[in-house]
């Protein structure tokens, strides 16, 4: 390669693709043109994650948070299969996902894209997703490395995090992506971590990612503002600047080469890892993929709907108000009931087709049995509710990239979307008029539910994708058991949430957010502080009942039996939590998720569940030696149906 050829490959070079309308099939997040003389192909990068492909109308799958709620790595593989197929048929090489940053605060604008608040759950889902994408011949891009946990001040915030919290909470999904799934590419984020921009962070990119984890793919910057300098980024290990060069431009690189602050071997190193990865993905052995758009959207819609059903989480079902019986007179209420709800930003997928909850419920319940009011006129909504046997109020929040939500109640969680209004009032007024009120939440994260006691049923449907309305209807009518469990805790009060009440911790002051809570994130926080969440992590009801029995626990294996004791087939999601003994200077949360399993059991059926434990599962990050260390003494093992259910417990010594 000539020097010019090398320098021209250091950054993306297409601003037209990303500037097209997102529903234009020629829209593309980024392109790096190759070198025709040498047969180096173009590299096409598409925004795609758990929710589908942002490149014109495509299959809109349920949100990442819904996928996490399936608690099923097979579901992650199925979702990834749909995304990989569409990405390939739209001519792409790299999928800019999955997003495995954890939810640190419930306000997070991109919480809907994430796999929730627990590192093990996020790691397991991410590994399965990445493996499937990469087995299909596309490169995945795990993002945003690391600790890109808030949208407030996202370009400038410096996340100040202890090594222990990084290693135990924020890094494990990335570590698993590298070590287990052999992810091809990593996206460094906009934020700084411990004073260094993520994309020029030597400690993270060079020491942790490459030296300690053995990453041999290439590091790509988040779009534009993530790169803050030329020399520091190149030396630290940023391999490609996207979507176009601001710091990796030929003139700036030449200036640095002339000064000697970077060398040709730095450039060669980064191009070597990139080209080697492209070789290993067969890019030199086949023609460039074309954007044919020949996609079986019908088949994908069926799959996407089944996945959404698996993520729908039944939070409350007093007196078995659900499932509904066909023919029941149902009033569907709320603007969100007749909309396609999704998060906004690089993970907004324009759906090929939609079935709204109103349409889904009307089709399933029988048109004559279902009435609708959008709730804009409260009196009319109340009248409609009063005249029905059951009222289903469908509400939503409005999460988006580049901004966190500022309010966690349904009074204003839809603040960015003026069509939604005060949905809390809508719920309470409808609940007064109809004792059989069910609330369906289409939210991209936790919301406050002070009205929970007033309603009989609560169904968390997340952003359920294009045909989410049909999935919601099938769960409401019991055609399928609600498969989901909460991948995030729902706080009882905003002030209970991690990092609440201290602006220095969140959203940060002077461009600094101090992660003072350390490892006590999500349920680890609520449990340690003895705060009762409105709905705990791991919670989700079934239409049947289960019994757990027969716990046996050793240092390597924990087994239990789960039995369907009810009258319907249903999904059981037994979860293993360990309580490690604290060491001096290393406090431990009462419980940490160490295994989960999902199975469909028919009435009377029992199954044995086996959780394997490795040394890491019994270890913590020791700040003084900067190494993993086995926790002292005995460990408490709990198997239950949520982070707050201790159905079975044993001690491992």
Interface residue list for ligand BGC (CB under 6 A): 29, 47, 96, 143, 222-223, 346
Cβ at position 307, least distance to ligand BGC in Å: 21
Cβ at position 151, least distance to ligand BGC in Å: 9
Nearest to 595 by CA among 548, 634, 549, 560: 560
How many residues does the structure list for the chain? 653
Give yes or no for a contact between 559 and 550, defined as CB atoms under 8 angstroms apart.
Answer: yes
Helix 468-476 × helix 357-365 angle, to 10°: 40
* Given 47, 222, 374, 404, the catalytic residue: 222
Spell out where 155-243 has E strands: 158-160, 185-188, 192-193, 196-197, 218-221
Among residues 29 and 430, whose Cβ is nearest to ligand BGC?
A: 29
Distance in angstroms (rounded) separating the CA atoms of residues 72 and 66: 11
46: left (phi over 0), alpha (psi -120 to 50) or beta: beta
Cβ at position 446, least distance to ligand BGC in Å: 22
Cβ at position 144, least distance to ligand BGC in Å: 6
222 is catalytic: yes
Give yes or no for a contact between 357 and 468, defined as CB atoms under 8 angstroms apart.
Answer: yes
State the CB neighbour count (10 A cutoff) for residue 50. Answer: 31
Complete edge-to-edge strand list for the sheet that includes strand 196-197: 196-197, 192-193, 158-160, 512-514
Q: Phi and psi of 124, rounded to 5°?
A: -65, -45
Give yes or no for a contact between 285 and 291, defined as CB atoms under 8 angstroms apart.
Answer: no
Nearest to 183 by CA among 115, 144, 118, 126: 126
Cβ at position 432, least distance to ligand BGC in Å: 43
Give yes or no for a contact between 617 and 630, defined as CB atoms under 8 angstroms apart.
Answer: no
Cβ at position 568, least distance to ligand BGC in Å: 41
Which tokens hold the place of 188?
Answer: 């460094």
Distance in angstroms (rounded) separating the CA atoms of residues 581 and 621: 13
Give yes or no for a contact between 609 and 562, defined as CB atoms under 8 angstroms apart.
Answer: yes
| Residues classed as catalytic | 222
């Amino acid at each position: 390669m000539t020097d010019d050829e090398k320098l021209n490959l250091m950054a993306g070079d297409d601003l037209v693709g990303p500037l097209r309308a997102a529903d234009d099939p020629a829209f593309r997040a980024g392109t790096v043109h190759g070198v025709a003389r040498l047969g180096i192909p173009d590299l096409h990068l598409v925004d795609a994650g758990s929710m589908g492909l942002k490149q014109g109308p495509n299959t809109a799958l349920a949100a990442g948070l819904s996928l996490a709620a399936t608690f099923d790595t097979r579901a992650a593989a199925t979702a990834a299969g749909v995304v990989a197929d569409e990405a390939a048929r739209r001519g792409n090489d790299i999928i800019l996902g999955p997003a495995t940053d954890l939810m640190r605060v419930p306000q997070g604008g991109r919480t809907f894209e994430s796999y929730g608040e627990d590192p093990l759950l996020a790691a397991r889902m991410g590994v399965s997703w990445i493996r499937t994408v990469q087995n299909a011949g596309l490169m995945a891009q795990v993002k945003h490395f690391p600790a890109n946990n808030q949208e407030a001040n996202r370009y400038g915030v410096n996340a100040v995090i202890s090594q222990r919290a990084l290693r135990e909470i924020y890094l494990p999904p990335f570590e698993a992506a590298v070590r287990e799934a052999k992810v091809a590419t990593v996206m460094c984020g906009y934020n700084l971590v411990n004073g260094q921009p993520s994309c020029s962070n030597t400690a993270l990119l060079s020491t942790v990612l490459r030296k300690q984890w053995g990453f041999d793919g290439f590091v790509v910057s988040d779009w534009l503002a993530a790169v803050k300098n030329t020399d520091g980024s190149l030396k630290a290990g940023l391999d490609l600047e996207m979507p176009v060069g601001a710091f990796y431009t030929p003139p700036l690189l030449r200036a640095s080469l002339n000064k000697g602050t970077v060398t040709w071997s730095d450039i060669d190193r980064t191009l070597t890892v990139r080209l080697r990865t492209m070789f290993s993905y067969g890019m030199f052995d086949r023609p460039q993929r074309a954007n044919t758009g020949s996609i079986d959207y019908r088949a994908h819609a069926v799959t996407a709907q089944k996945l959404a059903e698996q993520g729908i989480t039944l939070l409350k079902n007093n007196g078995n108000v659900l499932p509904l019986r066909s023919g029941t007179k149902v009033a569907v209420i709320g603007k969100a009931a007749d909309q396609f709800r999704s998060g906004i930003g690089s993970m907004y997928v324009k759906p090929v087709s939609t079935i709204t909850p109103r349409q889904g419920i009307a089709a399933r319940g029988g048109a004559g049995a279902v009435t609708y009011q959008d709730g804009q006129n409260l009196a009319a909504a109340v009248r409609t509710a009063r005249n029905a046997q059951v009222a289903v109020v469908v509400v939503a929040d409005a999460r988006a990239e580049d901004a966190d939500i500022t309010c966690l109640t349904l009074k204003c969680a839809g603040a960015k979307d003026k069509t939604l209004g005060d949905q809390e009032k809508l719920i309470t007024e409808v609940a007064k008029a109809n004792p059989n009120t069910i609330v369906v939440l289409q939210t991209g994260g936790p919301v406050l539910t002070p009205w929970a006691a007033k309603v009989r049923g609560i169904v968390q449907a997340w952003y359920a994708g294009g045909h989410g309305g049909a999935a919601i209807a099938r769960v409401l009518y019991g055609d399928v058991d609600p498969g989901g469990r909460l991948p995030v805790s729902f706080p009882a009060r905003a002030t209970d949430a991690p990092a609440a009440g201290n602006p220095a911790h969140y959203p940060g002051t002077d461009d600094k957010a101090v992660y003072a809570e350390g490892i006590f994130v999500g349920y680890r926080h609520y449990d340690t502080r003895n705060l009762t969440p409105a709905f705990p992590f791991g919670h989700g009801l079934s239409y049947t009942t289960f019994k757990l029995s027969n716990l046996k626990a050793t240092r390597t294996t924990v087994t239990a039996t789960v039995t369907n004791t009810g009258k319907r087939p249903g999904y059981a999601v037994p979860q293993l939590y360990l309580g490690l003994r604290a060491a001096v200077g290393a406090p431990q949360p009462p419980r940490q998720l160490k295994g989960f399993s999902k199975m469909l059991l028919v009435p009377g059926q029992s199954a044995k569940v086996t959780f394997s434990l490795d040394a890491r599962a019994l270890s913590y990050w020791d700040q003084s030696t900067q190494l993993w260390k086995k926790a002292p003494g005995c460990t408490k093992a709990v198997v239950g149906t949520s982070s707050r259910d201790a159905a079975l417990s044993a001690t491992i010594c």
